[in-house]
Each structure stands twice: as structure tokens, then as C-alpha cells.
């Protein structure tokens, strides 16, 4: 009976995702937002239509889906793209992370929140949702300098975010000393980079040497699953490992780039389930649980993205037409933020409820309104480009 229920549920979810995709084509809404709303409707916050076992599916599906996204984003970090947009990618990603931390810390402190708690919340808010942004770019069909820069930014901004979060955690948690949080971040990031190198270099040299066609698709799936599995086993970031491997394959696989096309071909079923199950896991009531604090936190993050995105764009010397667009395009927030919040909650149990509720409420809000903001920014830049 369980197998029948599993297959029926998957069939309904795939068909529901197909319907959401078609609605997105007619309404021009991002399919990410539609899939998240579908998940909310069928999940515990809606009509509770999913079987209880579906909660166990989310983690393995999300790991595979996000590792695929990481590979594709890493593939954007080619020497050609970095030469053209490297300054913009570095300046905007660092500005977004530092600006978000400082503005939320300062704003919440002025509103009466404990400065230490406010600093932690600011660091957690730095996380972006690479999966949602990557899918919006793909759905839009827009390919220009702006989308190349955005892809590069979301590929590395969570790395800066993890570093800033670890430093903030060390600053506040003096009882445990500096070493613990910083060594933990160094192991997570450094280990993931080493794993990406260990997988990326052989893959760059060996993939695509067999007969064209299905073997390459098998290779692409094998590399993604191997990276995800080893990252979990070694307890390092599968996002950073996938991004590193993807960047190395893109830069060193001179004989082909078809592995990335194969990942794109097989990615959508995993992404569809990921976004629906992510929507089902969201708790809408969390937005109101802390009242004005939730609204202030969400408002400060929007302000921080707009201001720091513009500052970074000016430092990065992007075209004038794009300066105001980076902040709105980088609003989506998801899983990495929740991971940071869990670590902060475990370290400071007295703040655990506040940290988790604020992070979850912001995630619900930005997962729903973030993708449309990204799509509007992409279309705005596209219209300006066509009118020039």
C-alpha cells in the first residue's frame, strides 16, 4: 500500500507541476512561486493532502536538486565570464553580504533587539536561494551580461555568507572561544572545495570520451550523485563542492560542455519535487508569530538588498541601467539560511525560538515574492537593452 501511495503522490505532484508550469507560461509568473504555492496548498499549512512519509523525501531530493544547481552555477564561472564580469561579481556579492549583515544588525538594534541576537539575524539573512534564481533565469530565456553576473553572484555569495556568519558566531560565543566556529566553517568550505577539485578535474578530463549520447547523461548523473553523497558523508557543503566541480569542468573540459546540457535535461523533475516539497514545509503562521519583529526583519532585508546591491554595482562598474536591478534580483532566500539558523539556535538556546521563527517567516515571504522580483528585474534589463 505504501508503494502505491508513493507512486500516486509522485504522479499527482508531477502533473500538478506541469500545470503550474503551463500557468506560468500564460500568466508570466515564475513557476518557482507557483510550485511553492502548490506545495503550501497540499502541505500541512494548507489542505494537508500529502502523506506523512513525504516529509522524509525532502532532504534527499533537495540535496540532489541543489547539487545540480550548484554544478550549473559553477559552470558560469568560466575564465571568459570572470574576465568580463569578475569585478561586478566580486563587488556585488561581498557588498550584499556585508551590507545585509550591517543594516539588519543596526536596524534591529535600534528597534530594541539585543545587539548580539541582531548580529546573528543579520548574518543569517545574507543567504540567497540559488535554485530559485537559476530557475527564473532559465524560464525567462534571457541571456545577457546581467544574467551572467547574477549567476556568478549567487554561485559565491553563500560562501561569503557562511564566512561572515561564522565570524559573527565566534564574536558572540566567547565562552567557546574563537576556534570552534571558525574551524567549523573552514572545514566545511575548505573540505567542499577539495572534494570539488577531486571530482571536477578527473571529470573534466574523462567525461565525454565515450560514444556520444546516453553514456554522457549517465556520466552527468553519476558525477552529481557522487558529489552529493560524498559531501554528505564527509559533512561538507554539497553546494560548494558542486559549484567547484562545475567550475573546473567548465574551464578544463575543452573537448565538450555537454555534461552541463545533460544536467539541464534531467534537472527539472528533481527541481519540481524540490520546490513543491519546499512549499509544503513552509509554515505560513510563522510570519505572524512574532508580529512587528517579523515585519521589521523582512523590511530591513529588503532595504539592505536594495542599498547594498546598488553600492556593489557602483563599485563593480556595471552599466548604469543595471545599477538598481541587482538588489531586487537577489531577494529569494531559502535553505542555507535555515541551516545557519539551526546552528545559531543550537549555540544559543535562549534565542532559539526567535531565531527559527524569524528565519522561517522571512523564508516563507522571500520564497514567494523573491522569484517574481527577480523576473521583473531580468525583464526590465532586457527591455532597456532592446530599446538602446
CA angle, residues 216, 222, 226, in degrees to nearest 5: 150
Nearest-angstrom CA–CA distance, 44 and 284: 10
Number of domains in the chain: 1
**339 falls within a domain:** yes
pLDDT confidence band for 50 (50 / 70 / 90): confident
3-state helix, strand, coil in the chain (%, to 5): 80, 0, 20
Provide φ and ψ at 69, rounded to 5°: -60, -45
Contact 74, 151 (CB under 8 A): no
DSSP 67: H
**245 falls within a domain:** no
Contact 257, 13 (CB under 8 A): no
**349 falls within a domain:** yes
Locate the DSSP E strands across 254-383: none
pLDDT at 285 over 70: no
Mapped onto helix, strand or coil, the DSSP state of residue 29 is coil
Which structural domain range is residue 345 located in?
Answer: 32-42+57-68+85-143+155-191+264-387
Alpha carbon of residue 195 to chain centroid: 20
**12 falls within a domain:** no
271: CATH = 1.20.1530.20
Provide φ and ψ at 223, rounded to 5°: -65, -40
The residue to which cell 550584499 is assigned: 96
Cell of 126: 545574507
Q: What is the pLDDT of residue 326?
A: 94
pLDDT tens-place string over residues 227-273: 999 999 998 888 889 888 988 888 887 655 555 666 777 777 887 88
pLDDT at 170 over 90: no
**Start-to-end C-alpha separation, the chain:** 61
Q: What is the pLDDT of residue 178?
A: 59
**163 falls within a domain:** yes
Nearest-angstrom CA–CA distance, 353 and 62: 25
**298 falls within a domain:** yes
pLDDT tens-place string over residues 108-166: 999 999 999 999 999 999 988 888 898 889 888 888 889 989 988 988 887 888 888 88
CA angle, residues 280, 283, 284, in degrees to nearest 5: 110
Radius of gyration of the chain (CA): 20
Contact 260, 271 (CB under 8 A): no
pLDDT confidence band for 213 (50 / 70 / 90): very low
pLDDT tens-place string over residues 75-97: 877 888 888 888 999 999 999 99
Nearest-angstrom CA–CA distance, 298 and 103: 12
Q: Which residue has the higher pLDDT, 361 or 374?
A: 374
**1 falls within a domain:** no
Q: Which residue has the higher pLDDT, 376 or 179?
A: 376
CA angle, residues 273, 246, 168, in degrees to nearest 5: 80
Whole-structure pTM value = 0.80
**328 falls within a domain:** yes
Nearest-angstrom CA–CA distance, 271 and 95: 29
DSSP 53: G
Contact 70, 246 (CB under 8 A): yes
| Cβ count near 245 (within 10 Å) | 31
The residue to which cell 569542468 is assigned: 249
pLDDT tens-place string over residues 59-72: 788 888 888 888 88
Nearest-angstrom CA–CA distance, 243 and 23: 31
CA-nearest of 211, 208, 195 to 262 is: 208
Amino acid at each position: 500500500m505504501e508503494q502505491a501511495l508513493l507512486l500516486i503522490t509522485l504522479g499527482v505532484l508531477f502533473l500538478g507541476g506541469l500545470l503550474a508550469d503551463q500557468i506560468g507560461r500564460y500568466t508570466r509568473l515564475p513557476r518557482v512561486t507557483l510550485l511553492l504555492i502548490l506545495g503550501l496548498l497540499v502541505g500541512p499549512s494548507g489542505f494537508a493532502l500529502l502523506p506523512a512519509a513525504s516529509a522524509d523525501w525532502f532532504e534527499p531530493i533537495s540535496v540532489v536538486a541543489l547539487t545540480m544547481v550548484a554544478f550549473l552555477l559553477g559552470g558560469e564561472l568560466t575564465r571568459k565570464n570572470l574576465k568580463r564580469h569578475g569585478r561586478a561579481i566580486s563587488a556585488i556579492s561581498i557588498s550584499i553580504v556585508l551590507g545585509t549583515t550591517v543594516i539588519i544588525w543596526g536596524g534591529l538594534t535600534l528597534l530594541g533587539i539585543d545587539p548580539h541576537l541582531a548580529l546573528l539575524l543579520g548574518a543569517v539573512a545574507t543567504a540567497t536561494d540559488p535554485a530559485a534564481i537559476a530557475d527564473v533565469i532559465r524560464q525567462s530565456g534571457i541571456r545577457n551580461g546581467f544574467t551572467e553576473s547574477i549567476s556568478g553572484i549567487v554561485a559565491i555569495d553563500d560562501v561569503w555568507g557562511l564566512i561572515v556568519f561564522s565570524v559573527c558566531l565566534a564574536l558572540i560565543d566567547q565562552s567557546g572561544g574563537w576556534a570552534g566556529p571558525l574551524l567549523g566553517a573552514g572545514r566545511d568550505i575548505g573540505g567542499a572545495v577539495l572534494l570539488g577539485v577531486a571530482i571536477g578535474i578527473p571529470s573534466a578530463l574523462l567525461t565525454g570520451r565515450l560514444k556520444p549520447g546516453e553514456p554522457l547523461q549517465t556520466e552527468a548523473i553519476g558525477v552529481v550523485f557522487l558529489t552529493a553523497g560524498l559531501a554528505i558523508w564527509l559533512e561538507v557543503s554539497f553546494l560548494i563542492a558542486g559549484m567547484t566541480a562545475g567550475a573546473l569542468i567548465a574551464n578544463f573540459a575543452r573537448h565538450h560542455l555537454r555534461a552541463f546540457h545533460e544536467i539541464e535535461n534531467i534537472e527539472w523533475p528533481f527541481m519540481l519535487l524540490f520546490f513543491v516539497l519546499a512549499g509544503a514545509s513552509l509554515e505560513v503562521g510563522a510570519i505572524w508569530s512574532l508580529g512587528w519583529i517579523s515585519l521589521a526583519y523582512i523590511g530591513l532585508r529588503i532595504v539592505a538588498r536594495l542599498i547594498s546591491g546598488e553600492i556593489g554595482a557602483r563599485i563593480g562598474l556595471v552599466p548604469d541601467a543595471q545599477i538598481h536591478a541587482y538588489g531586487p534580483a537577489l531577494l529569494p532566500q531559502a535553505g542555507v539560511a535555515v541551516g545557519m539558523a539551526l546552528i545559531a539556535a543550537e549555540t544559543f538556546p535562549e534565542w532559539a525560538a526567535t531565531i527559527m521563527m524569524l528565519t522561517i517567516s522571512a523564508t516563507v515571504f522571500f520564497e514567494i515574492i523573491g522569484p517574481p522580483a527577480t523576473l521583473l528585474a531580468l525583464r526590465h534589463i532586457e527591455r532597456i537593452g532592446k530599446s538602446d
